[in-house]
């Protein structure tokens, strides 16, 4: 079937800010789809509130709107742009929900816009629990016994009927938000109350618990003619009970025979056919480990995190093919982009094993529970490929960048046997390490399988790894070549072999090279070598033929990616890596990307000339360097992951393109950097470099509290805290030392002021500053968690000049070639430097888009030897835009039980959205809307404020009161507000009798909590409980005075009609 000629202009809806359960995979899918549509001559209108995405670039879509993802905005946009079609299945659940709302309201029909890709009925059949169940029953596909309930009492009755444990799943939520397994009526009540509120339609499914069964997924595709294929199946190593996003997943399935494999495959095809999906779909199964019994758990009628993983695991571009299907093509008309000989109507065959591991955020949320359940907690993931499972797992472990490189990275040898068994029963992120310890103690596979329900096959693979550890220990320095070869075959890195044998890492490497034990590269070709493939997508293994050919007649650059998405290093760095790669290509370079994140655009095989899907450790990179022999490497676009590899690359003899390694070092090394600042006459808050708590306390007392304590060489302010006492210092340094730190600790005087951020490009002589950004929140809150305003509006002309002057001086002094990011504090007319990063930063995508200056391509061209002037730009601070662009952080606190949500110097947000408008107020309103803060609902709020901020809060409270809010406060705050003429209703504190403040929150009539906690470690337990309860019941919580003020401003300026700005026209 050829393309439908009636489709000419398509609106693609993106997924909005990155949150847990909806991450970069939708940027990957959306970008691929937009490119696929444009290839067909379709005019693409893109809507996404997330400025850090690649899809929101003007070269990806024709018209780009970075606006809030609300029904009002989409309606307005459709009326403005008049697309003939909407493609809703590529923007995750957010995009899908939006499209459904419009369809249900009849708006699309009224305006002659059709949904392409999949019909509303199909979406409903897959997503509405009752309709889904009916559909499955109709075609004889089993689902676990279940019932939908709309109130708690019915839910409890149903649970009693089905029998505990039961699984509770709210309808229409992301990543299983609000769901869980209830073992008894009390737990059931708690989860139900929460889930009913979070569900868009107020429904929760109560279901038979099939925890412990094998969890298997199929990615299937169907075209308009009814042709169906499966792209891939995947097996979760963690059985049913852990969200697949938090599970270790292997592709293809390993423990299923052909009978089980085909049984589920046939079922998946039956389901996609019955649902009538045109495009991609994900079907999740629970398969009984001891029989052929199975249940369909869930169907996602759209591209998903799993489909992104399946695309990367197989080389089959699901989103691209789904977009073509939406236009009317059939699978046999779409070329296989990998082989370029065959068609999309085939099923990929793998001749390797893929392992995915989740990147969990527990290093950021020390207080949070590590337990994994049906609600996803991972912020990102890594994928690895090898010809054996053990090797793929080892590669995945070291790709995580969590200070782990083998199954000994966490030491449980000190646990008693009883304690170990207890630990084995816990389902958390350390499970494979605990199993490894049990294997070392000789626990039987049967026992481990009994406790964990993890298949014996996987347990045996872990045993092979622990046996190798032991063999290496036993061999010691007498390591034989055969053992070394076997250790490398299952991907033991040299440093681990060195640690276990007692040899030096250099000696291990030397022994390898002397015996020809070197990594070889195999191609991911979708067809297990049956056809010659043209797409250079590689993975490493040891032993066999090397398929990667490093020879080229062009100059070659290595672009280092940024690894898994984590708090502090998100999708922005993928944006930078991809744009840099494209710019190098335009400069005539052959480009080689190394990355390990399956969710990203950078790991799409048609971005660079070559893609190596590999861990980003020095050894893994060196093996690639040996084959590719690049002319240089660029590290300034891949975040801290890439920067950390600078030294290793230099040792390999790979020139660092752009800012030299020693200058990168100078910016990070306290002493060197202080010297530079002194030479330039630039002040910074006074501070000291220390190694111990004692030294830190001495430094702090000399500087005077409060002080900022942080480890050097970290991301997103990890471990950074404001200390107000010696006791705080002891606690913070203890925490810092838990995370293995080889680098010193910095103690700085904490200055309260405005925070200003600048990204600049320097060609060695001239400096180009696209714009100055100002944070709404004062210093003390991490820049990634602050609301950022461009252009800066409240600093004086004098300060602005100083900032430009300091930026220029610093860029020159650090010999920057390429990007630099600087953060300043402005206190009155005083400007201090607080941080310098000689690399691309989090704000680069945002500032590029709102200034229209292609910062990353420019920086790349400069790295290649061009100058700012030659590229047609006038150096210096660029003319300010005549509109405001506000970047708003977005958090995923409700997903992480036990995490403290109060903001501070350590970054906690997972994503961001943009509000852009002619006026500051409208931009602010849009930003809050985009972040999903849609107030007021009930017009009841709680305010509790630390003493120092009470006065300031009175004024803000008055504004909320004027907006019609009823204000509830505990003791001191209530008195203060009333004294300032703001009516506040006093409520008892948590420990006081009911009804107290907690009851108020749990009563579901509060829509906003403003809770400003005191600084330092001694934060009140009450505040923590209030904030957690509020977040988990879906209440908006703000923890900074400035944010609260901004929200008041936003609400005072609610606009019915928004002005939509096409970014592509900037």
Partner 1 sequence: MKAYLILEDGTVFPGVSIGSEREVISEIVFNTSMTGYLEVLTDPSYAGQAVVMTYPLIGNYGICRDDMESKRAWPDGYIVRELSRIPSNFRSGDTIQHFLKEQDIPGISGIDTRALTKILREKGTMNGMITTKLPDDLTEATERIRAYSVRGVVLKTTTKEPYVLVPENPGNTVSKGTRTGENGAQPAPPASVFDPTSGLGLRVALMDYGAKSNIGESLAARGCEVTVWPADTPAETVLAKRPDGIMLSNGPGDPAENTEIIKEVKKFYDSDVPIFAICLGHQLMALATGAKTYKLKYGHRGGNHPVKDLATGRVYITSQNHGYAVDTESLDPDVAAPAFVNVNDGTNEGLSYKGKNIFTVQYHPEACPGPQDSGYLFDRFIRMMKEGR
- Told to check if 257 binds partner 1 by CB under 8 A, we report yes
Q: Is 1059 in the site for partner 1 (CB under 8 A)?
A: no
Closest C-alpha among 302, 325, 327, 344 to residue 44: 327
In the shown chain, the binding pattern of residues 115 to 144 toward partner 1, with x for contact by CB under 8 A and - for none, equals -------------------------x-x-x
How many residues are present in the chain? Answer: 1066
Cβ neighbours of residue 103 closer than 8 Å, sequence gap 6 or more: 109, 115, 120
Smaller CB distance to partner 1: residue 70 or 452?
Answer: 452
CB nearer partner 1, residue 543 or residue 852: 543
- Shortest distance, CB of residue 443 to partner 1, whole angstroms? 15
* CB of 4 vs partner 1, minimal distance in Å: 16
Instruction: Out of 200, 288, 440, 980, point to the residue binding partner 1 (CB under 8 A).
Output: 288
Q: Minimum Å distance from CB 50 to partner 1?
A: 37
To the nearest whole angstrom, how small is the minimum distance from the Cβ of residue 59 to partner 1?
Answer: 33
CA dihedral 612, 618, 620, 625 (to 10 degrees): 60
In the bound complex, what is the minimum distance in angstroms from residue 208's beta carbon to partner 1? 8
Q: x/- contact string, 416-455, with partner 1 (CB under 8 A)?
A: -----------------------------x---------x
Which 8-state DSSP code applies to residue 654? Answer: P
Contact with partner 1 (CB under 8 A) among 289, 764, 936, 1034: 289
Question: Toward partner 1, which CB reaches closer, 134 or 991?
Answer: 134
How far is 593 from 561, CA to CA, in rounded Å? 7
Could you say whether residue 269 binds partner 1 (CB under 8 A)? yes
Preceding omega of 165 cis (within 30 degrees of 0) = yes
Contacts 24+ apart (CB under 8 A), 421-430: 421/451, 424/448, 424/451, 424/452, 425/451, 426/370, 426/371, 427/238, 427/241, 427/242, 427/371, 427/372, 427/373, 428/370, 428/371, 428/372, 429/246, 429/358, 429/360, 429/362, 429/370, 429/372, 430/370
Of the pair 352, 806, the CB lying nearest partner 1 is at: 352
Q: Structure tokens of 27? A: 């940027």
**Is 827:893 a contact under the CB 8 Å cutoff?**
no
Whether 424 contacts 209, CB under 8 Å: no
In the bound complex, what is the minimum distance in angstroms from residue 470's beta carbon to partner 1? Answer: 16
Shortest gap between Cβ of 530 and partner 1 (angstroms)?
Answer: 6
Under the binding rule (CB under 8 A), the answer on residue 351 touching partner 1 is: yes
CB-based burial, 607-627: b 16+ in 10 Å, e otherwise: bbbbbbbbbbbbbbbbbbbeb
CB atoms closer than 10 angstroms to residue 27: 30
Say whether residue 415 binds partner 1 (CB under 8 A): no
Cβ nearer to partner 1, comparing 1 with 963: 1
For residue 74, what are the β-bridge partners? Answer: none
Residue among 103, 127, 217, 260 that touches partner 1 (CB under 8 A): 260
**469 near partner 1, judged by CB under 8 A:** no
Which H/E stretch holds residue 392? helix 389-399
Angle at 732 between CA 730 and CA 734, to 5 degrees: 70
Q: Which stretch binds partner 1 (CB under 8 A): 350-358, 492-500, 559-567, 885-893?
A: 350-358
Smallest Cα–Cα separation from 543: which of 513, 527, 521? 521
- Binding map of partner 1 across residues 770-809, x = CB under 8 A, - = no contact: ----------------------------------------
Q: Does 688 bind partner 1 (CB under 8 A)?
A: no
Nearer to partner 1, 281 or 847 (CB): 281
Whole-number minimum distance, CB 133 to partner 1, in Å? 14
CA 749 → CA 690, 709, 733, 825, distances in Å?
Answer: 14, 9, 16, 12
Q: How far is the CB of 349 from partner 1 (least distance, A)?
A: 4
Number of residues in contact with partner 1, rule: CB under 8 A?
67
Q: Does 334 help bind partner 1 (rule: CB under 8 A)?
A: no
Question: Which token pair is 182?
Answer: 């209830």
Name 381's bridge partners: 358
For residue 786, give the H/E element and its range.
Answer: none
Position 236 contacts partner 1 (CB under 8 A): no
Q: What's the token pair of residue 281? A: 């779909």
DSSP letter string, 502-524:
---HHHHHHHHHHTT--EEEEE-
Query: Does the protein bind partner 1 through residue 263 (CB under 8 A)?
Result: yes
Taking the least distance from each CB to partner 1, the nearer of 265 and 398 is 265
Cis geometry, peptide bond prior to residue 534 (ω within 30 degrees of 0): no
For partner 1, the binding residue among 282, 330, 495, 841 (CB under 8 A) is 330
Q: Mask: binding to partner 1, 206-235, rule CB under 8 A, as x and -?
A: -------------------xxxxxx-----
Q: Which tokens go with 15? A: 């997924």
Closest approach, Cβ 235 to partner 1, in A, equals: 11
833 near partner 1 (CB under 8 A):
no
Report the DSSP pairing between strands 353-359 and 380-386: antiparallel
Q: Is 294 helix (H, G, I), strand (E, B) or coil?
A: strand
Contact call for residue 483 and partner 1 (CB under 8 A): no
Tokens of 979: 């004294």
Smaller CB separation from partner 1, 186 or 460? 460
Give yes or no for residue 332 binding partner 1 (CB under 8 A).
yes
Q: Which of residues 492-521 bind partner 1 (CB under 8 A)?
A: none
Residue nearer to partner 1 on the CB measure, 422 or 446: 446
Q: Which two tokens stand for residue 666?
A: 């100078």
Among residue numbers 524 through 563, which ones bind partner 1 (CB under 8 A)?
A: 527-532, 543-545
Q: What track of x and - describes contact with partner 1 for positions 352 through 391 (by CB under 8 A)? A: xx---------------------------------xxx--
With binding defined as CB under 8 A, does residue 145 bind partner 1?
Answer: yes
Dihedral over alpha carbons 207, 212, 218, 224 (to 10 degrees):
-10
Q: Which candidate, 1027, 1033, 989, 986, places its Cα nearest to that of 1009?
A: 1027
Nearer to partner 1, 458 or 824 (CB): 458
In the complex, what is the shortest distance from the CB of residue 29 to partner 1, in angstroms, rounded to a whole number?
A: 23
Does 292 help bind partner 1 (rule: CB under 8 A)? Answer: yes
- Can residue 346 be called a binding residue for partner 1 (CB under 8 A)? yes
Contact (Cβ atoms closer than 8 angstroms) between residue 203 and residue 149: yes
254 binds partner 1 (CB under 8 A): yes
Phi, psi dihedrals of residue 65, rounded to the nearest 5°: -120, 115
Residue 414 makes contact with partner 1 by CB under 8 A:
no
Question: Which DSSP letter does residue 363 get?
Answer: G
Q: How far is the CB of 293 from partner 1 (least distance, A)?
A: 3
Q: How far is the CB of 523 from partner 1 (least distance, A)?
A: 9
How far apart are alpha carbons 968 and 959 in whole angstroms? Answer: 14
**Residue 572 near residue 646 (C-beta atoms within 8 A):** no
Kindly tell me which of 320 and 1027 has the beta carbon lying closer to partner 1.
320
Between 22 and 253, CB nearer to partner 1: 253
Residue pair 241/222 in contact (Cβ under 8 Å)? The answer is no
Cα distance between residue 343 and residue 339, in whole Å = 8
Residue selected from 58, 456, 980, 1019 as contacting partner 1 according to rule CB under 8 A: 456
The answer to the question of residue 325 lying near partner 1 (CB under 8 A) is no
481 binds partner 1 (CB under 8 A): no
Site residues, partner 1 (CB under 8 A): 140, 142, 144-145, 225-230, 252-263, 265-266, 269, 288-295, 330-332, 341-343, 345-353, 387-389, 445, 455-457, 460, 464, 522, 527-532, 543-545
């Amino acid at each position: 079937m050829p393309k439908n000629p009636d489709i000419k202009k398509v609106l693609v809806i993106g997924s909005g800010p990155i949150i847990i359960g909806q991450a970069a995979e939708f940027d990957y899918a959306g970008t691929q789809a937009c490119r696929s549509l444009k290839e067909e001559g379709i005019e693409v209108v893109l809507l996404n509130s997330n400025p850090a995405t690649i899809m929101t670039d003007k070269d990806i879509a024709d018209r780009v709107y970075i606006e809030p993802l609300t029904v009002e905005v989409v309606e307005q946009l459709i009326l403005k742009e008049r697309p003939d079609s909407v493609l809703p299945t590529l923007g995750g659940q957010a995009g899908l929900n939006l499209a459904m709302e419009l369809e249900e309201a009849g708006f699309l029909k009224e305006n002659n816009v059709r949904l392409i890709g999949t019909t509303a009925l199909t979406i409903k059949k897959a997503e509405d629990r009752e309709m889904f169940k009916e559909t499955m029953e109709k075609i004889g596909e089993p689902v676990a016994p279940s019932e939908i309930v709309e109130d708690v009492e019915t839910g409890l009755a149903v649970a009693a009927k089905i029998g505990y444990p039961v699984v509770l799943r709210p309808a229409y939520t992301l990543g299983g938000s609000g769901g869980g397994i209830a073992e008894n009526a009390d737990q059931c009540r708690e989860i139900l109350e929460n889930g009913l509120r979070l569900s868009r339609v107020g429904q929760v499914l109560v279901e038979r618990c099939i925890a412990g069964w094998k969890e298997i997924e199929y990615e299937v595709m169907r075209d308009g003619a009814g042709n169906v294929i499966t792209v891939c199946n995947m097996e979760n190593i963690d059985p049913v009970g852990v969200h697949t996003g938090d599970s270790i997943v292997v592709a293809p399935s390993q423990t299923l025979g052909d009978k089980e494999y085909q049984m589920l495959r046939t079922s998946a095809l039956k389901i996609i056919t019955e649902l009538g999906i045109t495009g991609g779909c994900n079907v999740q199964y629970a398969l009984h480990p001891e029989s052929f019994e199975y249940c369909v758990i869930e169907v996602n009628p759209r591209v998903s995190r799993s489909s992104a993983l399946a695309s990367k695991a197989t080389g089959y571009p699901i989103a691209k093919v789904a977009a073509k299907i939406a236009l009317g093509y059939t699978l046999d008309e779409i070329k296989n982009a990998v082989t370029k000989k065959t068609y999309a109507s085939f099923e990929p065959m793998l001749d390797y094993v893929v392992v995915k591991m989740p990147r969990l955020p527990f290093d950021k949320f020390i207080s949070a529970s590590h337990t994994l359940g049906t609600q996803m907690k991972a912020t990102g993931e890594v994928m690895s490929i090898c010809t054996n499972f053990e090797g793929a797992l080892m590669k995945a472990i070291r790709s995580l960048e969590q200070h782990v490189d083998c199954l000994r990275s966490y030491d449980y040898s000190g646990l008693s046997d009883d304690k170990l068994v207890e630990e084995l029963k816990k389902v958390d992120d350390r499970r494979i390490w605990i199993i490894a310890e049990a294997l070392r103690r000789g626990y039987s596979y049967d026992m481990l399988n009994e406790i964990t329900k993890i298949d014996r096959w996987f347990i045996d693979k872990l045993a092979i790894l622990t046996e190798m550890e032991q063999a290496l220990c036993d061999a010691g320095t007498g390591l034989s070549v055969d053992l070394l070869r076997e250790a490398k075959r299952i991907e033991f890195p040299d440093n681990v072999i060195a640690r276990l044998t007692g040899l030096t890492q250099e000696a291990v490497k030397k022994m390898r090279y002397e015996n020809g034990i070197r990594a070889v590269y195999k191609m991911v070709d979708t067809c297990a070598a049956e056809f010659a493939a043209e797409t250079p997508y590689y993975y490493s293994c040891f032993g066999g033929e090397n398929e990667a050919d490093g020879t080229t007649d062009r100059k070659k650059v290595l672009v280092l990616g940024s690894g898994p998405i984590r708090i502090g290093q998100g999708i922005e760095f993928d944006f930078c890596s991809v744009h840099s790669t494209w710019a190098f290509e335009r400069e005539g370079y052959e480009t080689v990307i190394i990355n390990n994140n399956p969710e990203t655009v950078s790991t799409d095989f048609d971005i660079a000339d070559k893609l190596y899907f590999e861990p980003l450790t020095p050894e893994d990179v060196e093996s690639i360097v040996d084959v590719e022999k690049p002319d240089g490497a660029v590290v300034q676009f891949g975040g801290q992951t890439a920067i950390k590899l600078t030294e290793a690359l230099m040792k390999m003899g790979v020139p660092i393109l752009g800012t030299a390694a020693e200058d990168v070092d100078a910016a990070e090394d306290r002493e060197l950097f202080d010297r530079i600042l002194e030479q330039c006459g630039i002040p910074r808050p006074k501070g000291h470099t220390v190694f111990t708590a004692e030294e830190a306390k001495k430094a702090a007392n000399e500087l005077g509290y409060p002080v900022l304590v942080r480890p050097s060489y970290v991301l997103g302010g990890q471990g950074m805290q404001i200390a107000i006492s010696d006791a705080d210092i002891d606690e913070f340094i203890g925490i810092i030392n838990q995370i293995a730190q080889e680098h010193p600790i910095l103690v700085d005087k904490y200055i309260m002021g405005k925070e200003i951020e600048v990204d600049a490009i320097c060609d060695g002589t001239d400096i180009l500053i696209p714009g100055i950004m100002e944070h709404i929140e004062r210093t003390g809150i991490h820049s990634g968690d602050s609301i950022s305003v461009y252009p800066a509006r409240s600093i004086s002309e004098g300060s602005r000049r100083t900032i430009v002057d300091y930026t220029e001086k610093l860029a020159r002094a650090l010999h920057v070639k390429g990007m630099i990011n600087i953060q300043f504090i402005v206190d009155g007319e005083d400007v201090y430097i607080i941080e310098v990063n000689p690399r691309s930063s989090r704000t680069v995508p945002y500032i590029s888009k709102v200034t229209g200056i292609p910062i990353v391509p420019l920086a790349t061209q400069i790295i290649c030897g061009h100058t700012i002037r030659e590229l047609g730009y006038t150096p210096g601070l660029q003319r300010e835009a005549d509109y405001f662009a506000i970047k708003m952080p977005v958090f995923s606190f409700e997903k992480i039980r036990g995490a403290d949500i109060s903001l501070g110097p350590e970054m906690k947000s997972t994503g961001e959205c943009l509000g852009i408008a002619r006026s500051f107020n409208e931009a602010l309103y849009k930003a809050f809307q985009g972040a999903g803060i849609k107030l007021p609902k009930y017009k009841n709020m709680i305010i509790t404020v630390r003493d120092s901020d009470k006065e300031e809060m009175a004024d803000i409270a008055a504004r909320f009161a004027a907006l019609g809010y009823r204000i509830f406060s505990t003791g001191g705050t209530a008195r203060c507000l009333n004294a300032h003429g703001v009516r506040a209703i006093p409520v008892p504190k948590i420990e006081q009798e009911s009804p107290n403040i907690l009851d108020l929150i749990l009563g579901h009539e509060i829509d906003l909590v403003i809770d400003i906690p005191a600084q330092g470690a001694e934060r009140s337990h009450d505040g923590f409980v209030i904030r957690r309860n509020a977040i988990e019941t879906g209440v908006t919580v703000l923890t900074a005075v400035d944010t609260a003020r901004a929200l008041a401003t936003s609400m005072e300026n609610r606009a019915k009609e928004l002005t939509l700005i096409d970014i592509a026209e900037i």
